Each structure stands twice: as C-alpha cells, then as structure tokens.
Amino acid sequence: SPPKSPRLSLAKAASVPGPPPALEEAHDATQAPSTAVAEAYNILNAVTAQLQSGRISHQDAAMTFSALIDALPLGKLRSSALLNRAHCLVGLGQSAGALADIEAIVAERAPRVDAQRWHKVWMSRGGIHRKLAQEAGRNGDVTSASQLYAKSRADYE
C-alpha cells in the first residue's frame, strides 16, 4: 500500500503550489475531535480559496476534496466537500460525476444538513442538469436534452 501523506495544515494548504497532500485522517486518535474537525475545515477553506484564486487546478482540488470525503463522517463538512468536488468535476468536464456528488448530498440525509433548504445544492444541480442537457443536444439526443432542461428549470425554482 502507498505511504500515507502527512497531515495537511492550513499554512501548507495556503502556501504550497500544486496538489496539497491528502488528509491522512479526519479523526486522529491523538487529537481531540474538535481539533480534527477544525483541521478539516481549514483544509476545505484553504483549498477552496486556492481554487477561487486560480492557485490550484480543479484536478488537484478534487483530489483533496476526495480525501476529505473519504475521511469524514456524514455531516455538513462532508457535504461541503462533496459540493466543492462537484464544482471541480464540472470544471474538468465530468458533469455526470458532479451530478453524482450532488445526488449524494441529497440522498445521504446527513445530520444537521437540510439539503432541501441548501440553495447551493439546488443551484449546482440545476447548472449541472443544464450542462448535461447541452451535451445531449450537441449529441443530437433531443429527448434527453428536453428532459434535462426540465430538470434544470425545476431545480432553479
């Protein structure tokens, strides 16, 4: 098995170009749970800021968000990592994968996450449905395109 990467700190996440090291574990037995959660939030926020400023690629950010998703239990933080990875996947032209991440947020019914009231989830899903509809239209699949546009409109409502 590959060696585990060192824990990613906020300072490293904010200053190291390229892909940040993967999160080793969100719940390190040597740290209090609140410390591990704070570290995970720091990673999420730092990578998101790097992505927004163009200092990290969608591919590298998606890898870090994937590490967070794999390490975290159901909850708002994991759902946020799924939402951010979905954004990255759209940027990489992987709309179907992005939609799967959004659907996971809705289906998981995580504690303290009301996906029905989280507008970013529905705006993202609407945008992904629109992109999939455009792809279907370019491929000549008018029926699928029409159905996907209808889903997009419903998500925006």
Question: What residue ranges do the domains of the chain occupy?
Answer: 37-43+55-155
Q: Is the dihedral of CA 133, 102, 85, 123 positive or negative?
A: positive
User: What's the pLDDT tens digit per position in 21-61?
Assistant: 434 433 344 455 678 888 999 999 999 999 999 999 999 99
Architecture of domain 37-43+55-155: Alpha Horseshoe (1.25)
Pairwise CA distance, residues 61 & 47, whole Å: 6
b/e for 3-23, b at 16 or more Cβ within 10 A? eeeebbbeeebeebeebbbbb
Q: Using alpha carbons, select from 35, 46, 120, 32 the residue that is nearest to residue 76.
A: 120
User: What's the pLDDT tens digit per position in 93-116?
Assistant: 999 999 999 999 999 888 778 878
